[in-house]
Structure formats: structure tokens, C-alpha cells
Structure 1
């Protein structure tokens, strides 16, 4: 059965797209830790990040950098935190999280709630960078 992220790649499930190329996709997390919290995924469904070949892994990090720089311009913050947890969805994904304090990247804290319209506006603001 395809992961939820593969279903997003296949356009079976909608997302708030931030950026995309032939190998990677970036979209807003629907349960964000911070405004602009973005997930970057590989389009090829592989569960564990270190199971990717070197070219894909380095491409993923370069794509994260491209998206992270846009994100930092769109959402005022001190840094873009990066986390790879990989337990919640069996499909490689990287969290890019705007942060001003160490607690901003604490996955145990309560998630923020945004309407679909607010998420669409945030995604648009990031895409326009």
C-alpha cells in the first residue's frame, strides 16, 4: 500500500505545495510546530533516509537548502531547523521548521492549527520567494 506521501506525489491527496522537481517535493505540514513548517520528501518511496543512494541523498539535501532559503525569507525567524525523524510515515521526509528558540523544534509541544485558507497563503508566500 502506498504511503500517504506517495499518494500526495500521485496527486491522490491534496497538499499545500511549496516547491517540486522531478525527484523531490516540498509541502506544508498539516500539523505544524511553527508557521511555515515544511516537509520535503523524495518522490521515490523509500522508508529510511540512509537507504537512498548517494546521489539521491545529496540531491535531497540540496533541495532542502533551496526550500529552506525561501522559507527563511518568507517567514521571519532566526534559523530553519532541520529534522529527520522518520518514524511517523514510512517514506523519507525532512522537516524544515522556522525557529527562534530551541523549543520551536520540540515535537512534543502542541501543534499549531491553521485553516486551509491560511495554509494556502503561507505556501504562496514561500513559493513567491
Structure 2
């Protein structure tokens, strides 16, 4: 069965994309722990991270690192968080988000109904920071119309 992430990647469901390349995409989490919470997701469905091709996993990790560096610079966080949890969607995804303390890692604090304007602004800020950081324009999607 097709995952919700594949439906977002295919454009069936809207997503706030901040990265796109031939192997993966990154879009804001619909239930963010903090503004800017991003999911790095392979285009091809892989259930568990241990099932991923090692080259794909390295690529996902590198993209997560780029996103985390942009989050730290843009949101002035103490450190970017990174978790591969995978219970909510059976499609490998890396959570990357701004953090200020260990309490920021508690998924019970995720915002299940985030403000749309805040989400749009966070996506816009991340895309702008990624471009400012010299990321290839081909990988950072244009602002939505």
C-alpha cells in the first residue's frame, strides 16, 4: 500500500518542501515539535532504516545534516535534533528539528494542529537559508505560488 509520504512526494497531498533531489525530499512535518521540524524521506519506499541501501542512507544523512545546519543558523537553536523513529509511517524518514533542551525530543509535545502561517513562514525561512548557505538551487524548491 502506498504511504502518505509517497502521496506527498507524488503531489496528491500538499507538502511544504524545502529540499528535493533525485533520491529524496525534505518537507515540514505536519505535527512539528518546533517550527521548522523537517522530515527527510527517500523517494522510494523503504520501511525500516536498516533495510535502506547504505548509499541511500548516507545520502539521507547528508541531506539531514544540511537541513540541520540551516535550522541551527536560521532558528538560533542550541543544536538540531535528529531521530529515526518510524512508528507512525512505514516509510523511512529522518526527523530534523531545532532543539534547545532534551525536553524538545518528546514527541508527546508535537503540535497536531499547527498554525498554517507559522508553517509557511518556517518553510520559507528554511528555503531562504538553504539558498543563502549555497545549496544548489536545483535542490531547494521555489516558493509556492
TM-score by length of 2: 0.84
Q: Residues 10-89 of structure 1: matches in 2 within 5 Å?
A: 10-89=10-89
Tell me by how many angstroms 1:112 deviates: 6.4
Which whole-Å CA distance do the structure 1 matches of 2:110 and 2:19 have between them? 26
1:90 partner SS: coil
Deviations 1:6-52 (A, max 9, x none): 00111111111111111111111111111111111111101101101
Deviating beyond 4 angstroms after TM superposition, the runs of 4 or more aligned structure 1 residues are none
1:2 partner SS: coil
Tell me by how many angstroms 1:110 deviates: 5.0
Report if aligned partners of 2:34, 2:98 keep a CA contact under 8 Å in 1: yes
Deviations 1:72-122 (A, max 9, x none): 122121000100111110000011121001001111235264322221111
1:77 partner SS: coil
TM-score by length of 1: 0.94
Size of the alignment, in residue pairs? 129
Q: Which runs of 5+ in 1 are unaligned?
A: none
Which whole-Å CA distance do the structure 1 matches of 2:33 and 2:74 have between them? 16
1:128 partner SS: helix
**CA root-mean-square deviation:** 1.3
2:119 partner SS: helix
